[in-house]
């Protein structure tokens, strides 16, 4: 996967008349030596209606240099100021990294969120102080920050963040980010949100030495490098797969002999799978009068989720459900994975992932196969 997915963000300059609370929030945080708190998170998946939740215990040293221990339900990230240790709590393995930007938990931390707020204000984001918000009898500053508000292709694109800030401590009680935009280089429009609640603040009480000293539990072991499996070779008979259509009808891959098949292994939550929909739609229309079929198979999402996905992204080719067992027969290493299969049911070529040249490669190989049909 060569390219990450980003929302198109366009900043605009507006004089900030209501930035006093945010200035206090930023300056007070930077004066801290350390902070610990509990964060409850709720995040909407980019491509589905699924909402993910987590509870993260944060211990952060702010000065003299950044260090942290961030513990979620499945992951624990420890940064000693130089190295990042990423602990998988599910299988008791860890891996090392030098870049804190490889820590998803870090992007939910106050240190990152407040740095981002400061950068957006310097770029001219619009800051509005709304009427105070009352929660459980306590009044909070209500701040809204907008760094994008525009229209593209007749659709709204914006990035807006709401902060509820404690009036005494100037620490956030609540954070919500709402964004709409397009996947970079496509016409796929997405709506997402992130919502965080902060509680149990403890200021300047964390032992800084404990954050900068890494002592891993003895039962954790270094993650073993994954041995990559090669894609199926040209000329191999494509392993048969039992297919369940969305209308409940059952079939299998052998039923498509005498047709050229583009087999697509996909997953609703995969960014590159979503981006590849446009290519697959175009191929399905271009070769609709040829002996050509797209068979997209999903081993992860349920019937209702796949139908929502199809409607949202206007999928014009069939998606089938399968069990996870056949995936091993195709040496699937990532998503999406494509296999081009000839009319005899033999592998012609495999394509791992989706990049800027994938459509041209697949189209070229398809044109060659179709031109040589006897």
CATH for 20-222, among 3.40.50.300, 1.20.120.1200, 1.25.40.80, 2.50.20.10? 2.50.20.10
pLDDT string in tens for the chain (374-residue length): 333 333 333 333 333 445 689 999 999 999 999 999 999 999 987 777 788 999 999 999 988 888 999 999 999 999 988 899 999 999 999 999 988 999 999 999 999 999 999 999 999 999 999 999 998 889 999 999 999 999 988 888 999 999 999 999 999 999 999 999 888 777 888 888 999 999 999 999 866 666 666 677 788 898 888 788 899 999 999 999 999 999 999 999 999 999 999 999 999 888 899 999 999 999 999 999 999 999 999 988 899 989 989 998 899 999 999 887 888 899 998 899 999 999 999 999 999 999 889 999 999 999 999 998 86
Second-level CATH architecture of 242-371: 3-Layer(aba) Sandwich (3.40)
Q: Where are the domains of the chain?
A: 20-222, 242-371
Under 8 Å CB-to-CB from 81, ≥6 apart: which residues? 65, 66, 67, 212
Reading across the β-sheet that carries 189-203, which strands appear in turn? 126-135, 138-152, 155-166, 172-182, 189-203, 34-44, 51-61, 67-71, 75-79, 84-88, 93-97, 221-222
Spatial distance between the Cα atoms of 177 and 112, rounded to a whole number of angstroms: 14
Alpha carbon distances (Å) from 142 to 167, 179, 212: 10, 19, 35
What pLDDT score does 327 carry? 86
């Amino acid at each position: 996967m060569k390219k990450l997915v980003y929302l198109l963000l366009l900043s605009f300059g507006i004089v900030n008349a209501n930035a006093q609370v945010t200035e206090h929030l930023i300056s007070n945080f930077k004066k801290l030596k350390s902070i610990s708190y509990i964060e409850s998170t709720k995040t909407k998946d980019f491509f589905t209606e699924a909402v993910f939740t987590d509870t993260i215990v944060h211990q952060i040293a702010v000065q003299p240099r950044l260090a942290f221990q961030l513990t979620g339900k499945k992951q624990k990230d420890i940064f000693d100021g130089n190295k990042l240790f990423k602990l998988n709590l599910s299988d008791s393995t860890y891996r090392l990294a030098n870049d804190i930007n490889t820590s998803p938990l870090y992007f939910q931390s106050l240190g990152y969120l407040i740095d981002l707020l400061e950068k957006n204000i310097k770029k001219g984001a619009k800051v509005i102080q709304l009427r105070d918000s009352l929660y459980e009898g306590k009044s909070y500053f209500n701040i809204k920050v907008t760094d994008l508000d525009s229209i593209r292709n007749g659709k709204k694109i914006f990035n807006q963040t709401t902060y509820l800030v404690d009036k005494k401590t100037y620490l956030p009680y609540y954070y919500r980010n709402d964004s709409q935009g397009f996947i970079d280089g496509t016409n796929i429009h997405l709506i997402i949100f992130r919502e965080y609640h902060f509680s149990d603040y403890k200021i300047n009480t964390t032992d800084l030495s404990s954050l900068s000293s890494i002592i891993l539990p003895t039962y954790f072991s270094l993650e073993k490098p994954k041995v990559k499996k090669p894609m199926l070779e040209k000329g191999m008979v494509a392993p048969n797969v039992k297919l369940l259509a969305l209308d409940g009808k059952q079939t299998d891959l052998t039923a498509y002999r005498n047709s050229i098949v583009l087999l697509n292994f996909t997953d609703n939550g995969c960014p590159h799978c979503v981006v590849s929909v446009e290519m697959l739609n175009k191929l399905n229309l271009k070769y609709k009068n040829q002996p050509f079929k797209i068979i997209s198979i999903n081993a992860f999402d349920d019937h209702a989720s796949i139908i929502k996905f199809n409607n949202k992204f206007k999928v014009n080719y069939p998606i089938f459900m399968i069990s996870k067992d056949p995936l091993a027969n195709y040496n699937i290493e990532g998503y999406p994975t494509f296999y081009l299969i000839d009319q005899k049911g033999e592998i012609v070529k495999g394509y791992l992932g989706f990049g800027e040249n994938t459509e041209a490669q697949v189209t070229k190989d398809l044109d060659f196969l179709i031109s040589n049909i006897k």
